[in-house]
Structure 1
Amino acid sequence: MDLQLLAPFLTATLLLLVTPGPVVAIVVHNTLRKGMTAGLLTALGVELGEVLVLGAVFTGLILSQEFMPLLFRWISLAGIAYLIWLAIRAFRSRKASSHETNIKSTSRPIIDGLTIASSNPATLIFYTAFFPQFVSPHHPLLQQLVMLGAIFLGASLVFDMICIAAAARLRPSPSFGRPGFDRLAELGSAALYLCIAAFALLGLANVPV
Protein backbone atom coordinates (compact mmCIF):
# COMPACT_ATOMS: atom_id res chain seq x y z
CA MET A 1 0.00 0.00 0.00
CA ASP A 2 1.15 3.54 -0.81
CA LEU A 3 2.15 5.12 2.49
CA GLN A 4 1.31 8.58 1.08
CA LEU A 5 -2.34 7.51 1.01
CA LEU A 6 -2.29 5.97 4.47
CA ALA A 7 -2.05 9.23 6.43
CA PRO A 8 -5.05 10.85 4.65
CA PHE A 9 -7.02 7.63 5.10
CA LEU A 10 -6.30 7.53 8.83
CA THR A 11 -7.27 11.19 9.17
CA ALA A 12 -10.52 10.71 7.24
CA THR A 13 -11.36 7.57 9.21
CA LEU A 14 -10.82 9.34 12.52
CA LEU A 15 -13.03 12.25 11.48
CA LEU A 16 -15.74 9.87 10.27
CA LEU A 17 -15.72 7.99 13.55
CA VAL A 18 -15.99 11.08 15.76
CA THR A 19 -18.90 12.46 13.71
CA PRO A 20 -22.11 11.55 15.59
CA GLY A 21 -24.26 9.01 13.77
CA PRO A 22 -26.64 6.08 14.31
CA VAL A 23 -23.84 3.63 15.16
CA VAL A 24 -22.47 5.81 17.96
CA ALA A 25 -26.00 6.55 19.11
CA ILE A 26 -27.04 2.90 19.47
CA VAL A 27 -23.78 1.93 21.21
CA VAL A 28 -24.12 4.77 23.72
CA HIS A 29 -27.87 4.22 24.11
CA ASN A 30 -27.55 0.53 24.96
CA THR A 31 -24.67 1.21 27.32
CA LEU A 32 -26.59 3.90 29.20
CA ARG A 33 -29.78 1.83 29.35
CA LYS A 34 -28.43 -1.66 30.01
CA GLY A 35 -24.80 -1.37 31.10
CA MET A 36 -21.34 -2.02 29.74
CA THR A 37 -22.01 -5.63 28.72
CA ALA A 38 -24.86 -4.52 26.48
CA GLY A 39 -22.62 -1.84 24.99
CA LEU A 40 -19.90 -4.38 24.23
CA LEU A 41 -22.39 -6.74 22.60
CA THR A 42 -23.74 -3.85 20.54
CA ALA A 43 -20.22 -2.97 19.40
CA LEU A 44 -19.67 -6.61 18.44
CA GLY A 45 -22.83 -6.53 16.36
CA VAL A 46 -21.66 -3.33 14.70
CA GLU A 47 -18.34 -4.95 13.78
CA LEU A 48 -20.12 -7.95 12.27
CA GLY A 49 -22.37 -5.67 10.26
CA GLU A 50 -19.40 -3.63 9.06
CA VAL A 51 -17.62 -6.82 7.95
CA LEU A 52 -20.65 -7.83 5.88
CA VAL A 53 -20.97 -4.42 4.25
CA LEU A 54 -17.25 -4.06 3.55
CA GLY A 55 -17.13 -7.60 2.16
CA ALA A 56 -19.89 -6.75 -0.32
CA VAL A 57 -18.27 -3.44 -1.28
CA PHE A 58 -14.78 -4.89 -1.71
CA THR A 59 -16.06 -7.81 -3.77
CA GLY A 60 -17.77 -5.41 -6.15
CA LEU A 61 -14.69 -3.20 -6.44
CA ILE A 62 -12.35 -6.13 -7.10
CA LEU A 63 -14.66 -7.61 -9.75
CA SER A 64 -15.01 -4.23 -11.46
CA GLN A 65 -11.24 -3.83 -11.70
CA GLU A 66 -10.68 -7.45 -12.77
CA PHE A 67 -13.20 -7.56 -15.61
CA MET A 68 -13.65 -3.89 -16.52
CA PRO A 69 -10.61 -1.82 -15.45
CA LEU A 70 -12.10 1.39 -16.85
CA LEU A 71 -15.20 0.85 -14.72
CA PHE A 72 -13.13 1.15 -11.53
CA ARG A 73 -12.00 4.61 -12.62
CA TRP A 74 -15.60 5.62 -13.26
CA ILE A 75 -16.59 4.26 -9.85
CA SER A 76 -13.98 6.56 -8.31
CA LEU A 77 -15.35 9.53 -10.25
CA ALA A 78 -18.92 8.65 -9.28
CA GLY A 79 -17.75 8.38 -5.68
CA ILE A 80 -16.29 11.87 -5.81
CA ALA A 81 -19.57 13.22 -7.18
CA TYR A 82 -21.49 11.43 -4.42
CA LEU A 83 -19.26 12.86 -1.70
CA ILE A 84 -19.74 16.36 -3.09
CA TRP A 85 -23.51 15.80 -3.14
CA LEU A 86 -23.41 14.66 0.49
CA ALA A 87 -21.49 17.81 1.40
CA ILE A 88 -24.00 20.05 -0.37
CA ARG A 89 -26.92 18.27 1.30
CA ALA A 90 -25.30 18.64 4.72
CA PHE A 91 -24.62 22.36 4.19
CA ARG A 92 -28.21 22.98 3.12
CA SER A 93 -29.75 20.90 5.88
CA ARG A 94 -31.74 22.79 8.49
CA LYS A 95 -31.86 19.84 10.86
CA ALA A 96 -30.01 16.57 11.37
CA SER A 97 -32.18 14.48 9.06
CA SER A 98 -29.47 11.92 8.28
CA HIS A 99 -28.97 10.82 11.89
CA GLU A 100 -31.63 9.03 13.88
CA THR A 101 -32.11 10.69 17.25
CA ASN A 102 -34.91 8.35 18.29
CA ILE A 103 -33.03 5.09 18.71
CA LYS A 104 -35.07 1.94 19.10
CA SER A 105 -33.40 -1.03 20.73
CA THR A 106 -34.31 -4.67 21.21
CA SER A 107 -33.60 -7.07 24.03
CA ARG A 108 -30.61 -8.34 22.05
CA PRO A 109 -27.91 -5.65 21.80
CA ILE A 110 -25.81 -7.60 19.29
CA ILE A 111 -28.81 -7.60 16.91
CA ASP A 112 -29.13 -3.83 17.39
CA GLY A 113 -25.54 -3.27 16.34
CA LEU A 114 -25.72 -5.67 13.42
CA THR A 115 -28.94 -4.12 12.14
CA ILE A 116 -27.76 -0.51 12.43
CA ALA A 117 -24.44 -1.26 10.71
CA SER A 118 -25.74 -3.37 7.83
CA SER A 119 -29.33 -2.36 7.07
CA ASN A 120 -28.74 1.14 5.69
CA PRO A 121 -28.24 1.11 1.88
CA ALA A 122 -26.59 4.53 2.12
CA THR A 123 -23.72 2.93 4.04
CA LEU A 124 -23.05 0.57 1.14
CA ILE A 125 -23.04 3.47 -1.31
CA PHE A 126 -20.85 5.61 0.91
CA TYR A 127 -18.19 2.92 1.37
CA THR A 128 -18.17 2.33 -2.39
CA ALA A 129 -17.43 6.03 -2.80
CA PHE A 130 -15.03 6.31 0.15
CA PHE A 131 -12.51 3.48 -0.11
CA PRO A 132 -11.50 3.78 -3.81
CA GLN A 133 -10.19 7.26 -3.09
CA PHE A 134 -7.37 5.78 -1.00
CA VAL A 135 -6.10 2.98 -3.23
CA SER A 136 -3.08 3.25 -5.50
CA PRO A 137 -3.16 1.93 -9.10
CA HIS A 138 0.45 0.80 -8.64
CA HIS A 139 -0.32 -1.85 -5.99
CA PRO A 140 -2.63 -4.91 -5.91
CA LEU A 141 -6.17 -3.83 -5.16
CA LEU A 142 -7.09 -6.79 -2.93
CA GLN A 143 -4.10 -6.26 -0.65
CA GLN A 144 -4.88 -2.57 -0.28
CA LEU A 145 -8.58 -3.09 0.41
CA VAL A 146 -7.89 -5.76 3.02
CA MET A 147 -5.44 -3.45 4.78
CA LEU A 148 -7.75 -0.44 4.61
CA GLY A 149 -10.68 -2.51 5.82
CA ALA A 150 -8.70 -3.93 8.73
CA ILE A 151 -7.53 -0.47 9.76
CA PHE A 152 -11.06 0.92 9.51
CA LEU A 153 -12.59 -1.92 11.53
CA GLY A 154 -9.86 -1.73 14.16
CA ALA A 155 -10.22 2.02 14.55
CA SER A 156 -14.01 1.67 14.71
CA LEU A 157 -13.76 -0.95 17.45
CA VAL A 158 -11.35 1.15 19.51
CA PHE A 159 -13.60 4.19 19.19
CA ASP A 160 -16.65 2.16 20.21
CA MET A 161 -14.77 0.92 23.28
CA ILE A 162 -13.98 4.52 24.24
CA CYS A 163 -17.64 5.49 23.83
CA ILE A 164 -18.75 2.52 25.93
CA ALA A 165 -16.30 3.32 28.71
CA ALA A 166 -17.39 6.95 28.75
CA ALA A 167 -21.11 6.17 28.59
CA ALA A 168 -20.84 3.65 31.41
CA ARG A 169 -19.70 6.48 33.71
CA LEU A 170 -22.16 9.11 32.56
CA ARG A 171 -25.86 9.67 32.63
CA PRO A 172 -27.71 10.79 29.52
CA SER A 173 -26.69 14.33 28.72
CA PRO A 174 -29.52 16.79 28.02
CA SER A 175 -27.40 18.26 25.24
CA PHE A 176 -27.33 14.95 23.37
CA GLY A 177 -29.32 15.40 20.20
CA ARG A 178 -29.87 19.14 20.51
CA PRO A 179 -30.37 20.89 17.14
CA GLY A 180 -27.27 23.06 17.57
CA PHE A 181 -25.07 20.05 18.26
CA ASP A 182 -26.58 18.12 15.34
CA ARG A 183 -26.11 21.11 13.05
CA LEU A 184 -22.44 21.32 13.99
CA ALA A 185 -22.08 17.62 13.20
CA GLU A 186 -23.68 18.18 9.78
CA LEU A 187 -21.27 21.00 8.95
CA GLY A 188 -18.32 18.89 10.06
CA SER A 189 -19.48 16.04 7.85
CA ALA A 190 -19.86 18.38 4.89
CA ALA A 191 -16.32 19.69 5.30
CA LEU A 192 -14.99 16.13 5.57
CA TYR A 193 -16.78 14.98 2.41
CA LEU A 194 -15.42 17.94 0.46
CA CYS A 195 -11.87 17.31 1.68
CA ILE A 196 -12.01 13.65 0.65
CA ALA A 197 -13.44 14.58 -2.76
CA ALA A 198 -10.74 17.21 -3.33
CA PHE A 199 -8.02 14.76 -2.31
CA ALA A 200 -9.43 12.14 -4.67
CA LEU A 201 -9.60 14.59 -7.58
CA LEU A 202 -5.95 15.46 -7.10
CA GLY A 203 -5.07 11.79 -7.05
CA LEU A 204 -7.01 10.99 -10.21
CA ALA A 205 -5.41 13.91 -12.01
CA ASN A 206 -2.02 12.24 -11.54
CA VAL A 207 -3.17 8.80 -12.77
CA PRO A 208 -2.61 8.18 -16.49
CA VAL A 209 -5.74 7.32 -18.44
Structure 2
Amino acid sequence: MSLTIWLAFVLASSVMLMIPGPTIILVITRSITYGKKSVLAIMATSAILFNLFKWLGAVYLIYLGLSMWRQKPTAHTINQTPINNKQSRRVLFHQSLVVTALNPKSIAFFVAFFPQFIQFNSALVPQLFILGATFLLLATLNAVLYAIFAGLFKSRLQHSSVQRWFTRVGGAALVGAGLITVTLKRNA
Protein backbone atom coordinates (compact mmCIF):
# COMPACT_ATOMS: atom_id res chain seq x y z
CA MET A 1 0.00 0.00 0.00
CA SER A 2 1.37 3.37 -0.96
CA LEU A 3 1.80 6.19 1.54
CA THR A 4 -0.41 8.41 -0.65
CA ILE A 5 -3.34 5.99 -0.47
CA TRP A 6 -2.87 5.52 3.28
CA LEU A 7 -2.79 9.30 3.88
CA ALA A 8 -5.91 9.73 1.74
CA PHE A 9 -7.59 7.04 3.84
CA VAL A 10 -6.52 8.77 7.08
CA LEU A 11 -7.90 12.09 5.84
CA ALA A 12 -11.19 10.62 4.59
CA SER A 13 -11.64 8.56 7.76
CA SER A 14 -10.87 11.54 9.99
CA VAL A 15 -13.43 13.71 8.23
CA MET A 16 -16.05 10.96 8.40
CA LEU A 17 -15.33 10.34 12.09
CA MET A 18 -15.59 14.03 13.02
CA ILE A 19 -19.21 14.13 11.86
CA PRO A 20 -21.17 13.18 14.99
CA GLY A 21 -23.18 10.02 14.51
CA PRO A 22 -24.90 7.54 16.81
CA THR A 23 -21.63 6.43 18.42
CA ILE A 24 -20.58 9.98 19.30
CA ILE A 25 -24.04 10.78 20.63
CA LEU A 26 -23.78 7.73 22.87
CA VAL A 27 -20.19 8.61 23.91
CA ILE A 28 -21.10 12.18 24.86
CA THR A 29 -24.28 11.18 26.68
CA ARG A 30 -22.53 8.42 28.61
CA SER A 31 -19.57 10.74 29.34
CA ILE A 32 -21.93 13.34 30.76
CA THR A 33 -23.70 10.75 32.89
CA TYR A 34 -20.82 8.49 33.96
CA GLY A 35 -17.65 10.45 33.19
CA LYS A 36 -14.70 9.58 30.97
CA LYS A 37 -14.34 6.02 32.26
CA SER A 38 -17.43 4.96 30.30
CA VAL A 39 -15.68 5.54 26.98
CA LEU A 40 -14.31 2.15 25.90
CA ALA A 41 -15.65 0.11 18.13
CA ILE A 42 -18.72 -4.87 10.10
CA MET A 43 -18.44 -5.08 6.90
CA ALA A 44 -21.65 -6.53 5.33
CA THR A 45 -20.71 -9.26 2.88
CA SER A 46 -24.03 -10.78 1.91
CA ALA A 47 -27.59 -9.62 1.50
CA ILE A 48 -28.74 -11.78 4.43
CA LEU A 49 -26.02 -10.49 6.77
CA PHE A 50 -26.53 -6.93 5.60
CA ASN A 51 -30.27 -7.10 6.26
CA LEU A 52 -29.73 -8.82 9.60
CA PHE A 53 -27.30 -6.12 10.73
CA LYS A 54 -29.50 -3.41 9.28
CA TRP A 55 -32.59 -4.53 11.20
CA LEU A 56 -30.74 -5.38 14.41
CA GLY A 57 -28.98 -2.03 14.23
CA ALA A 58 -32.20 -0.15 13.55
CA VAL A 59 -34.05 -1.83 16.42
CA TYR A 60 -31.13 -1.34 18.82
CA LEU A 61 -30.65 2.33 17.87
CA ILE A 62 -34.37 3.00 18.28
CA TYR A 63 -34.35 1.18 21.64
CA LEU A 64 -31.35 3.22 22.86
CA GLY A 65 -32.92 6.41 21.53
CA LEU A 66 -36.20 5.79 23.35
CA SER A 67 -34.28 4.85 26.51
CA MET A 68 -32.30 8.09 26.33
CA TRP A 69 -35.48 10.08 25.66
CA ARG A 70 -37.10 8.67 28.82
CA GLN A 71 -33.94 9.10 30.95
CA LYS A 72 -34.42 11.56 33.77
CA PRO A 73 -31.66 14.11 34.42
CA THR A 74 -29.43 13.13 37.30
CA ALA A 75 -29.37 15.34 40.36
CA HIS A 76 -25.73 14.38 40.92
CA THR A 77 -22.64 15.86 39.45
CA ILE A 78 -20.74 13.68 37.05
CA ASN A 79 -18.14 12.74 39.64
CA GLN A 80 -20.90 11.51 41.96
CA THR A 81 -22.29 9.09 39.38
CA PRO A 82 -19.52 6.48 39.25
CA ILE A 83 -19.65 3.30 37.27
CA ASN A 84 -20.26 1.04 40.23
CA ASN A 85 -19.13 -2.38 39.14
CA LYS A 86 -17.64 -4.52 36.42
CA GLN A 87 -21.12 -5.45 35.14
CA SER A 88 -22.04 -1.78 34.59
CA ARG A 89 -18.78 -1.16 32.74
CA ARG A 90 -19.42 -4.22 30.60
CA VAL A 91 -22.93 -2.97 29.75
CA LEU A 92 -21.60 0.47 28.77
CA PHE A 93 -18.85 -1.10 26.66
CA HIS A 94 -21.37 -3.45 25.02
CA GLN A 95 -23.69 -0.55 24.16
CA SER A 96 -20.82 1.38 22.59
CA LEU A 97 -19.60 -1.66 20.66
CA VAL A 98 -23.04 -2.51 19.28
CA VAL A 99 -23.86 1.09 18.35
CA THR A 100 -20.52 1.43 16.58
CA ALA A 101 -20.75 -1.90 14.76
CA LEU A 102 -24.32 -1.27 13.64
CA ASN A 103 -23.86 2.45 12.99
CA PRO A 104 -25.34 3.22 9.54
CA LYS A 105 -22.56 5.73 8.89
CA SER A 106 -19.91 3.08 9.56
CA ILE A 107 -21.70 0.43 7.51
CA ALA A 108 -22.04 2.81 4.56
CA PHE A 109 -18.38 3.81 4.94
CA PHE A 110 -17.08 0.25 4.96
CA VAL A 111 -19.36 -1.00 2.19
CA ALA A 112 -19.11 1.94 -0.21
CA PHE A 113 -15.98 3.89 0.67
CA PHE A 114 -13.47 1.50 2.25
CA PRO A 115 -12.96 -0.63 -0.91
CA GLN A 116 -11.76 2.45 -2.81
CA PHE A 117 -8.55 2.36 -0.75
CA ILE A 118 -7.77 -1.30 -1.47
CA GLN A 119 -5.22 -2.01 -4.17
CA PHE A 120 -6.42 -5.32 -5.58
CA ASN A 121 -3.12 -5.99 -7.35
CA SER A 122 -1.37 -6.16 -3.94
CA ALA A 123 -1.69 -8.54 -0.99
CA LEU A 124 -5.16 -8.04 0.47
CA VAL A 125 -4.69 -9.13 4.12
CA PRO A 126 -1.91 -6.65 5.00
CA GLN A 127 -3.92 -3.81 3.45
CA LEU A 128 -7.05 -4.76 5.39
CA PHE A 129 -5.01 -4.98 8.58
CA ILE A 130 -3.34 -1.58 8.04
CA LEU A 131 -6.58 0.18 7.07
CA GLY A 132 -8.57 -1.54 9.82
CA ALA A 133 -5.99 -0.74 12.50
CA THR A 134 -5.73 2.85 11.25
CA PHE A 135 -9.50 3.28 11.33
CA LEU A 136 -9.77 1.72 14.80
CA LEU A 137 -7.04 4.03 16.11
CA LEU A 138 -8.70 7.10 14.55
CA ALA A 139 -12.15 6.08 15.85
CA THR A 140 -10.77 5.56 19.36
CA LEU A 141 -8.99 8.91 19.29
CA ASN A 142 -12.17 10.57 18.01
CA ALA A 143 -14.32 9.07 20.80
CA VAL A 144 -11.75 10.02 23.45
CA LEU A 145 -11.62 13.60 22.17
CA TYR A 146 -15.43 13.86 22.28
CA ALA A 147 -15.39 12.43 25.83
CA ILE A 148 -12.74 14.97 26.85
CA PHE A 149 -14.85 17.72 25.27
CA ALA A 150 -17.86 16.56 27.30
CA GLY A 151 -15.68 16.48 30.43
CA LEU A 152 -14.41 20.03 29.84
CA PHE A 153 -17.94 21.36 29.64
CA LYS A 154 -19.37 19.13 32.37
CA SER A 155 -20.33 22.06 34.60
CA ARG A 156 -22.61 23.36 31.85
CA LEU A 157 -23.70 19.93 30.71
CA GLN A 158 -24.72 18.65 34.14
CA HIS A 159 -27.62 21.09 34.63
CA SER A 160 -30.86 19.13 34.49
CA SER A 161 -32.33 21.30 31.72
CA VAL A 162 -29.24 20.77 29.54
CA GLN A 163 -29.19 17.04 30.33
CA ARG A 164 -32.88 16.76 29.47
CA TRP A 165 -32.32 18.63 26.20
CA PHE A 166 -29.23 16.58 25.34
CA THR A 167 -30.80 13.20 26.12
CA ARG A 168 -33.93 14.12 24.16
CA VAL A 169 -31.98 15.38 21.15
CA GLY A 170 -29.58 12.43 21.40
CA GLY A 171 -32.48 10.01 21.79
CA ALA A 172 -34.29 11.51 18.81
CA ALA A 173 -31.07 11.35 16.76
CA LEU A 174 -30.61 7.66 17.63
CA VAL A 175 -34.23 6.90 16.73
CA GLY A 176 -33.69 8.83 13.47
CA ALA A 177 -30.49 6.89 12.79
CA GLY A 178 -32.40 3.66 13.42
CA LEU A 179 -35.10 4.69 10.95
CA ILE A 180 -32.49 5.73 8.38
CA THR A 181 -30.76 2.38 8.86
CA VAL A 182 -33.93 0.64 7.72
CA THR A 183 -33.73 2.48 4.39
CA LEU A 184 -30.12 1.44 3.63
CA LYS A 185 -29.67 -0.65 0.53
CA ARG A 186 -26.81 -3.05 -0.06
CA ASN A 187 -24.46 -2.33 -2.97
CA ALA A 188 -24.29 -5.48 -5.05
Distance verdict in 2 for CA 1:121–1:160, change over 3 Å? closer
Q: 2:146 aligns with which of 126, 144, 163?
A: 163
Structure-2 separation of matches of 1:14 and 1:120: 16
Structure 1 runs (4+) greater than 2 angstroms displaced:
99-108, 118-126, 171-178
Q: Are 1:133 and 2:103 an aligned pair?
A: no
What is the identity percentage for the equivalent residue pairs of Structure 1 and Structure 2?
A: 25
Determine if contact 1:26/1:103 at 8 Å carries over to the other structure.
no
Aligned to 1:87: none
Determine if contact 1:28/1:163 at 8 Å carries over to the other structure.
yes
Determine if contact 1:29/1:103 at 8 Å carries over to the other structure.
no
Structure-1 separation of matches of 2:20 and 2:66: 13
1:23-65 Cα deviation digits (max 9, x unpaired)? 1110010000111212x2xxx2xx2xxxxx2xx55xx49xxxx
Distance verdict in 2 for CA 1:120–1:152, change over 3 Å? closer
Aligned positions of 1:40-189 closer than 5 A: 40=39, 44=40, 47=41, 53=42, 56-57=43-44, 60=45, 102=65, 104=67, 108-120=91-103, 123-171=106-154, 172=157
> What is the CA-CA distance between 1:2 and the residue it aligns to?
1.9
Structure 1 SS opposite 2:122: coil
For the aligned residues, what is the CA RMSD? 3.3
Say which structure, 1 or 2, has more relative contact order (CA 8 Å, 6+ apart): 2
Structure-2 separation of matches of 1:36 and 1:122: 24
Structure 1 SS opposite 2:147: helix
Aligned residues: 127
Structure-2 separation of matches of 1:137 and 1:111: 34
Give the TM-score normalised by structure 2: 0.56
The letter of the residue matching 1:140 is A
Structure 2 SS opposite 1:136: coil
Farther-moved stretch of structure 1 (13-22 vs 113-122): 113-122
Aligned to 2:30: 30
